[in-house]
Chains A and B, each alone.
Chain A
Amino acid sequence: MNGAIELDFWDIGFAATIVVGLGILLAYYRLGVTRTLSIASVRLVVQLFAIGYVLKFLFAEGKLSYVAIMAVIMLIVASREIMARQKRRLKGWRSFGLGASTLFVSSFAIALFGLLVVVKPDPWYLPQYAIPLLGMIMSNTMSAISLSMDRLTSALHDNRAIIEQRLALGETSREAILPYLRDCIRTGIMPVVNSMATAGIVALPGMMTGQILAGALPTEAVKYQIIIWFFIAGGVGFGMAAALKLLEMRLFDERQRLRLDRLS
Chain B
Amino acid sequence: MAHRILVLGGGTGGTLVANRLQRLYGDAASITVVDRDDAHVYQPGLLFVPFGLAEPGEIVRPRHAQFRDGIDFRVAEVESVDIAENTVHLMDGSDVHYDVLVIATGASLQPGETEGLSGPEWGRSIHTFYSLEGASALRRSLDGFEGGRLVVNVIDMPIKCPVAPLEFCFLADWQLRLRGLRDQVELTFVTPLDGAFTKPVASARLGALLGEKGIRVEAEFATGRVDAAAGTLHSWDEREISYDLLVTIPVHGGPEYIGRSTGLGDGLGFVATDRHTLQSKAAANIFVIGDAADVPTSKAGSVTHFEGETVVENIQRFLEGDELTGCYDGHANCFIETGFHKALLIDFDYEAEPLPGRFPESHLGPLALLAESRLNHMAKLAFQPLYWHVLLPGHNIPGVSSEFHPVAAPPTEERSGALR
* A and B together in one complex: no
